[in-house]
Amino acid sequence: MTGHWTHSPKPIVILAPMDGYTDRAFRRLVKRIEPRIVLFTEFLSATELAKKPKLADDWMDIETQDQPLVVQLYGKDASDFKVAARLAEDRGAAGIDLNMGCPARRIVAHQHGSALMKNIDLACELVAGVKSVVNIPVSVKTRLGWEHADDLVPFGLKLEAAGLDAMTVHGRTYAQKFSGNADWTEIYELKAALRIPVFGNGDVVDATSAQAMLGNLNGVMIGRAAVSDPYVLRAVAASLIDNIQLPQLQAIDQLGDWRYFATEMVRMGTPDAMARRFRKFLIHLVTLANRLDLRRDSTQVTSLNQILTIIDRIEESSAVSAPV
Ligand SMILES: Cc1cc2nc3c(=O)[nH]c(=O)nc-3n(C[C@H](O)[C@H](O)[C@H](O)COP(=O)(O)O)c2cc1C
């Protein structure tokens, strides 16, 4: 089975789905840095895909180098999920993930995302429906619960009975959104109660926190820290899979990968729009390189050349300040 992600090296290290960030260019950067990472797409609307299957040409343009890639879908209509899941499998997705954790108002208002934690029957119907039409693993990404974590284990048991293959839990409730610290205690309890793999998510920032938080789980999923410094994923994989501690890679040693990333991003669409999209990543590089003087320029780039010039300036200044 193509890219069957459950066969990835253990414990599994996953790049979290992040709307607006984990597009094809960023995912390719991650694969270049650490090929053992399991990738997720950003959440894709099952209903839009069912209405306009042509969207899959753009949204699910999957090549071997992008594997294993799990396609994440959101929505609430079982027949739309089935159509979208088939499209994803036909295009080579390594798995289908159902979003049951997004807390955004516009998502929850439509009974999508986190709202499915309050509609367990529908959540199970969606899992069973997708399972009935694809041969690849079907997973769910969710949160601890709506306001508390009391229902997490019963929720997981029902999803497992509906045929679920794996579950990822972000250690915050819907009510918390992104406030406070992620609490993984209930995720460990969920793992103890289920037979399927369970992954923990929330506030893993480096190899040390990944080691501390893994507990009895099958792997960790990392989001924001990977955007701030994609090399965190390599350090976490080396630590969890190989038991090796890698030193943190300085920005100066990352520049070749950033040039590749910028080029891939600009190739993805209209060059000036893509260069604008790159700004938010460039700001992270500039911060990592401690070149705050380049921050303003980073927020104004409109071409690949301008991006590459900023990267060159980081390189030149590091060469000047390097010890002799
Ligand atoms: C900008 C942004 C976009 C996100 N988009 C998605 C998404 O499309 N699907 C999803 O399941 N979670 C999404 N999330 C949640 C992350 O996948 C993850 O659960 C959360 O950031 C906590 O993990 P972290 O502390 O490692 O960042 C998003 C988070 C952020 C910050």
On whether both 224 and 314 belong to a single domain, the answer is: no
On whether both 172 and 312 belong to a single domain, the answer is: no
- Give residue 96's region: left, alpha or beta (phi > 0; psi -120 to 50): beta
Q: Domain range for residue 118?
A: 5-242
On whether both 204 and 309 belong to a single domain, the answer is: no
Q: Which residues of 143-160 are buried (b: 16+ CB within 10 A; e: fewer)?
A: bbbbeebebbbebbebbb
On whether both 137 and 267 belong to a single domain, the answer is: no
Mutate to test the pocket of ligand 1, among 18, 30, 144 (most ligand atoms within 8 A of CB): 18
Confidence of residue 2 (pLDDT cuts 50, 70, 90): very low
Please tell me which residue in 30, 102, 136, 190 is annotated as part of the active site.
Answer: 102
| Residue 223 in contact with ligand 1 by CB distance below 6 A | yes
Closest CA to 99 of 35, 170, 4, 192: 170
On whether both 62 and 154 belong to a single domain, the answer is: yes
Determine which residue's CA is closest to atom 4 belonging to ligand 1: 18
Q: Looking at 218, 242, 266, which one is the last position of a domain?
A: 242
At residue 261, φ and ψ (nearest 5 deg) are -60, -45
Torsion of CA 24, 220, 101, 55, to 10 degrees: 20
Q: Is 124 among the catalytic positions?
A: no
Q: Looking at 242, 275, 299, which one is the last position of a domain?
A: 242
Kindly tell me if the per-residue pLDDT of 324 is higher than 50.
Answer: no
Number of domains composing the chain? 2
Q: What is the pLDDT of residues 270-306, one digit of tens each?
A: 999 999 999 999 999 999 999 999 999 999 999 999 9
Residue 4 CA: distances (Å) to CA of 82, 136, 287, 288: 19, 7, 37, 34
Confidence of residue 4 (pLDDT cuts 50, 70, 90): low
On whether both 192 and 266 belong to a single domain, the answer is: no
On whether both 87 and 222 belong to a single domain, the answer is: yes
On whether both 256 and 131 belong to a single domain, the answer is: no
Confidence of residue 322 (pLDDT cuts 50, 70, 90): low
Helix (H) or strand (E) holding 243: none
In one-letter notation, the amino acid at residue 316 is E
Percentage of the chain exceeding pLDDT 90? 94
On whether both 201 and 292 belong to a single domain, the answer is: no
pTM reported for the whole predicted model: 0.96
Residues 6+ apart with CB under 8 A from 206: 225, 232, 235, 236, 248
Mutate to test the pocket of ligand 1, among 19, 140, 206 (most ligand atoms within 8 A of CB): 19
- Atom number of ligand 1 nearest to Cα 97: 11
Q: Looking at 189, 222, 242, which one is the last position of a domain?
A: 242
On whether both 80 and 11 belong to a single domain, the answer is: yes
On whether both 52 and 186 belong to a single domain, the answer is: yes
